[in-house]
Amino acid sequence: MNSSPEEPPDNDDAGIRPGVSRRGLVTGAAAATGLSLIGGWGSAAAAPGKVADDFGSVGTAPRLPDGFTKTFKSRFVLANGIRQHVVIGGSGPPLLLLHGWPENWYAWRFMMPTLARKFTVIAPDQRGIGLTERTRTGYDAATLANDVSALMTKLGYPRYAVVGHDTGYIVGYALAADHRDQVSRVALAEIPGPPGVPDDPSLFLPDPVNDKVWHIPFNRVNDELIIDMVRSNADGFYRYEYTIQSGGVPLPEYAIKYYISLYNRDRDALRATFGLYRAWYATVEQNRNRKATPLTIPVLGIGGENSWGPLAGQGMLPAATNVQTLVIPGVGHWLAEQAPTQMLTALNTFLST
């Protein structure tokens, strides 16, 4: 059984602490990147008196590994028409990390310092999540892939490797399929294939599977009722997901509180985090077209033994010709936080071959 690395004592039980000013953060990011930052923050700001405006940045993230902030900085980049928040650090070939739901770039924190010894690590927030701009539309996989493709182009990386987890698996596959000149190889973790690539599952599933996937049709319902229901018991809603997907290895309490606060900071923030699910069928239709031209780059599917296991790799077999499968023993869905050492070993081998 694996567990998350030991962390320093928690000095802030809520996982929220004051950060630098909004203006200071943006100005510093612009100076660090040399990139033009355009426009105001608009709805990305938190509700007054609840969380800091820069909550979700490196400067406000709780209990980061020692030395993290010396290597990694938050930056804000205008790409594909939206302002994207991205955490960057390290040196070497570029490696793009795509987080899942309900998380943000912070999900990769345990792995990022080690990866940064060999790679320039780029970990963005997806559209509508964390400090990346919220929009009313644009949450289908093609647009989300275009977001990160434009981000990497703006940062000066014409070709790069990709690691995606959960919804990041969906975006990572679309990115590799739609921007074949950019992606050199892709590791995809912890869902049983992109929607529309494997056979779609029945609505009437065995209870253990239903318990893990019920949130997909729930999140897809495009009605304010969903916002009202989650807002009324956000702690219970998200805590169920972190628990049922854990495979018996719980996430740290401070991380759960951090993610819940990030996703439920206000109604607009919460609504945007459901965007990918509400564009689900558009993504299914896109993926049916994508798989007609299989990927030829190396693909690694990674699953937790107590979660999707070999299905993470098997789900890519209809869509790629060079697929490897790895199952990490004793863990569930949250691989980067439950088994960072095993993930690092797997990626070091995959990215070096």
Do 176 and 149 touch, CB atoms closer than 8 A? Answer: no
Residue type, 250: P
- Residue partners of 109: CB distance under 8 A and separation at least 6: 61, 64, 65, 68
Residue type, 191: I
Active-site residue, from 140, 147, 166, 179: 166
User: How long is the chain?
Assistant: 353
Known catalytic membership, residue 166 = yes
Known catalytic membership, residue 99 = no
Six token digits for residue 178:
């739609």
* Residue 172 exposure: Cα atoms within 13 Å on the Cβ side: 32
Beta strands 73-79 and 94-98, pairing class = unpaired
Known catalytic membership, residue 281 = yes
Residue type, 89: G
Active-site residue, from 12, 13, 235, 281: 281
What distance in Å separates the CA atoms of residue 169 and residue 162, rounded to the nearest whole number? 10
Q: Which helix (H) or strand (E) holds 336?
A: helix 335-338
Which CA distances in Å does 317 have to 213, 248, 324?
Answer: 21, 28, 9
Angle 280-290/167-178 helices, nearest 10 degrees? Answer: 40
* Residue 5 exposure: Cα atoms within 13 Å on the Cβ side: 16
- Which are the catalytic amino acids? 166, 281, 333
